[in-house]
Amino acid sequence: MPRVTAEHGQGVRDRIVAAALQVFGDRGYHGATIQDVVRGSGLSVGAIYTYFRGKDDLFLATCDLAAGRGFGELAARLARGRTVADKLAIAISFYFDAADGDAANPGNADFLVQAWGRAEAEPAVREMLERRRLQLVAAATLLAEEGVVRGELPRWVDVKRLARACTVLLDGFLLVRAEEGPRYTRDQAEPDARELIAALVAASSSPTRPPLREVQRRSFSLLGRSSEAPN
């Protein structure tokens, strides 16, 4: 019997996970089956179970692929930016590239929405999403810090809060994508995201942070009346 090398085994595993990414994105977690992955990968049921214990195990592996892939490619693209504004635009463009994928390879948008839907019930999925958030925020923080040092972003900005807010904003476009379905277009969404860059760069000319009012929290429920405002 020929010896299976680690490289060959990793290649088979990657093939299975890539097929699962497409299946889970198309059918959702509950609609997907191992047989769908068998058909998508062109491998046998036995091959699938050689590498994964079942659908849950495969889903988690696919989550990690969707969350973690692309950081090396992003770094390579950012190196081509001459200014921080350029790099921020490149980062936004890459975010949408990764969300959409191409004809041969699925993007991660549908799959991430599936993962968010399972985070409450599946601690491992939540942990994966938290790791992804930390990676995104770390990359965005480095860009923001560079922008402050180079004078392209205002010195008073809290770079960590800005970085986290930017990643949350971008992920919001994936939810809009799910809401709008066929009506969604990247041609509308990406310029909306790029507008944030223009606002940040324009703010660099302001020597001090603009005053923002602290608004007191007031509970509200669609099932009841809002609490009364204090006197």
Residues 83 and 181 in one domain: yes
Residues 188 and 82 in one domain: yes
Residues 115 and 41 in one domain: no
Q: How far is CA 74 from CA 59, 91, 155, 213, in A?
A: 24, 7, 25, 37
Residues 106 and 152 in one domain: yes
- Give the C-alpha separation, 64 to 125, whole Å: 9
Residues 32 and 140 in one domain: no
SS (H, E, C) the chain: CCCCCHHHHHHHHHHHHHHHHHHHHHHHHHHCCHHHHHHHHCCCHHHHHHHCCCHHHHHHHHHHHHHHCCHHHHHHHHCCCCCHHHHHHHHHHHHHHHHHECCCCECCHHHHHHHHHHCCCCHHHHHHHHHHHHHHHHHHHHHHHHHHHCCCCCCCCCHHHHHHHHHHHHHHHHHHHHHHHHHCCHHHHHHHHHHHHHHHHHHCCCCCCCCCCCCCCCCCCCCCCCCCCCC
pLDDT at 105: 72
Predicted TM-score (pTM) of this structure = 0.77
In a domain, 222, yes or no: no
Question: In terms of residue numbers, what domain contains 121?
Answer: 69-203
Residues 90 and 181 in one domain: yes
In a domain, 140, yes or no: yes
Residues 87 and 42 in one domain: no
Number of domains in the chain: 2
Give the CATH number, domain containing residue 151: 1.10.357.10
pLDDT at 1: 42
Which residues are CB-contacts of 138 (< 8 A; sequence separation ≥ 6)?
163
In a domain, 116, yes or no: yes
Residues 135 and 37 in one domain: no
Residue 102's Cβ-count burial label (10 Å; 0-12, 13-18, 19+) is exposed
pLDDT at 3: 55
Question: Taken in order 145, 149, 153, 156, is the CA torsion positive or negative?
Answer: positive
Residues 81 and 160 in one domain: yes
In a domain, 60, yes or no: no
Residues 82 and 126 in one domain: yes
In a domain, 61, yes or no: no
Residues 100 and 169 in one domain: yes
In a domain, 131, yes or no: yes
Per-residue pLDDT for the chain (231 aa), expressed as one digit of tens each?
A: 445 577 888 889 989 988 888 888 778 788 889 999 999 999 999 999 999 998 888 988 887 776 666 788 888 999 999 999 999 999 999 999 999 887 777 788 888 888 898 899 888 889 888 988 998 999 999 999 999 999 999 999 999 999 999 999 999 999 999 999 999 999 999 999 999 899 989 998 898 998 889 999 988 888 876 555 555
Give the CATH number, domain containing residue 12: 1.10.10.60
- Give the C-alpha separation, 33 to 59, whole Å: 11
pLDDT at 230: 53
Residues 78 and 178 in one domain: yes
In a domain, 168, yes or no: yes
